[in-house]
Chain A
Amino acid sequence: MPVIRDILLSLKSREVLRRQGFRGGSRVRPEIKSLITEILATVKKTHLLEPAVAYEIYLIAGMSPDRISLEGGKAIEGPLLAAIFPEAKELAVIIATIGPGLEKQVTDYTSRGQHLRGTLLDGIGSAAVDSLIPQALKSIADGVSSRGYEISSPVVPGMPGFPLTEQWNLLELAKAKEIGVSLTASGVMVPQKSTSMVIGIGPKMTRWTQAEVCRRCSLKETCPYRVTE
């Protein structure tokens, strides 16, 4: 059961700003820019980010419109999966987190009345999760390439056609306990700055961009954080 911890996150200021709702071309005040730089330095110095990824690769035993059956009698429900990568031979279930430290610090800031710092650090945490994903995917892609396989782009529960109720199943399948990620009774991951996803693996896999994912989202018209091309 692979766990990756040795990840160096380099946060691009463009991504950090996107998570604050700034869009390309919008004016960022120098005070806010310098505060972001300062907080990023603190994040680094105090090791607030503890990125960890747990994943497991399963052979696909069969596909139906509503579910993908895996080896060992396991399965993942949701019509999106079979529709989006019918060509997959294997499937990786991935849980990634930046750990609990950052969100504790956010609460600490806001409870001390430092709301701007709290807000900016929260956005930095989301950007850190964003930047963790490609690194995790690259490491999995490198692993499967020796078998002549590629990976697809990720599919995320919560997208239309992949219900959030599958979170319990995915956390089990990826053995998320190993990296300290669990679910609340209502199915929210703790630490909150965590993400779950599934990728298809096979000889030739389809890939898509974040802008395409945003185009399919129900919030595509209004989301302040959407990515456009």
Chain B
Amino acid sequence: MAADLASTLADLKEAEVLKIVKDRLGAGEEPLKILDDARRGMEVVGKRFADSEYFIPDLVYSGEILKVVTDLVKPKLTKEVGTKKLGKVVFGTVAGDIHDIGKDIVVFMLDVNGFEVYDLGVDVPAQKFVDKIKESGAPIVGLSGFLTLAFDSMKETVEAMKAAGLRDKVKVMIGGGQITDEVRKYTGADAFGKDAMAGVALAKKWIGAG
């Protein structure tokens, strides 16, 4: 019996995963079914991460494997299905904070999990978030920041969304090393996530795919 894609991906066996995917594609299998199995594997990765069995590098590694799988499968999908994303997310590190790596990891995990992410970078002024939300129509916004001063920037960014009449059109999540529920309340965000997988879970929940 051929090895199971979901569990092989969950075990992060990159070479084996790619072989299975190529074999299954070669055998003319339905590409969506392959992606579905890969997604189940990622759910196990998320669970192992939550249980401290996996760590950030393992998580990012799983994302890279999933990315290769998706790239292999994509050409076989119909154009419509191939380009369809789960939903749009505007993401950035708030004004005054220039911390990059945590944000990059969340953006990457959202991306490989099927979201279209507009990454605005670091030190992003509130207005830039507002402009991008308007332009893209994204229903989800992620704010990253790990300095105490970022809490004020997050609050100002949420307030700018309110002032622009966008607040009830978007769900806002925040995250970064020091974020707690108290900080969430202070900033007026809808939720906080302690790591990249929490961010993915929130985004999925909000678009009704979770």
Q: Which residues of A contact B (CB under 8 A)?
A: 20-23, 26-27, 29, 31-32, 103, 106-107, 110, 113, 115-116, 118-120, 122, 164, 184-188, 190, 192, 218-219, 222-224
Contact = CB atoms under 8 A, between A and B. Distances in A.
Given A21-B56, A119-B101, A219-B178, A29 B149 contact: no
A206 to B, nearest CB: 27
B100 interface: yes
Contact of B58 (A32, A184, A185): A32
B96 A32 contact: no
A106 B60 contact: no
Nearest to A22: B55
A184 B122 CA distance: 13
B178 A20 contact: no
A106 B64 contact: no
Contacts of B105: 115, 119
Contact of A26 (B55, B64, B67): B55
A116 B178 contact: no
A27 B123 CA distance: 35
B12 A106 contact: no
Contact of B177 (A113, A115, A185, A219): A219
A152 B61 CA distance: 41
B149 A20 contact: no
A110 B104 contact: yes
Given A26-B52, A119-B105, A107 B100 contact: yes
Nearest to B147: A188
Nearest to B67: A113
B57 interface: yes
Contact of A186 (B58, B67, B97, B177): B97
Given A106-B101, A107-B100, A185-B96, A115 B55 contact: no
A55 to B, nearest CB: 24
A23 B55 CA distance: 9
Contacts of A190: 98
A74 B50 CA distance: 49
A29 B104 contact: no
B144 to A, nearest CB: 14
Contacts, number: 75
8 contacts: A26-B55, A29-B58, A29-B61, A31-B12, A32-B58, A118-B104, A119-B60, A192-B98
Interface of B: 12, 14, 52-53, 55-58, 60-61, 63-64, 67, 95-101, 104-105, 108, 123, 147-149, 177-178, 194
Contacts of A219: 177-178
B55 A20 contact: yes
A119 B14 contact: no
A106 B60 CA distance: 14
A170 B114 CA distance: 45
Contacts of B56: 20-21, 119, 224
Contacts of A29: 12, 58, 61
B178 A184 contact: no
B153 to A, nearest CB: 9
B52 A20 contact: no
Contacts of B147: 164, 186, 188
A116 B98 contact: no
A115 B104 contact: yes
Interface centre among A110, A119, A185, A190 (most CB of B within 10 A): A119
A218 B178 contact: yes
Q: Which 3 A-B pairs have the closest CB atoms?
A: A186-B96, A122-B101, A21-B55
B64 A115 contact: yes
Contacts of A26: 52, 55
Interface centre among A110, A164, A184 (most CB of B within 10 A): A110
Given A26-B52, A115-B104, A115-B105, A188 B97 contact: yes
B111 to A, nearest CB: 10
A198 to B, nearest CB: 20
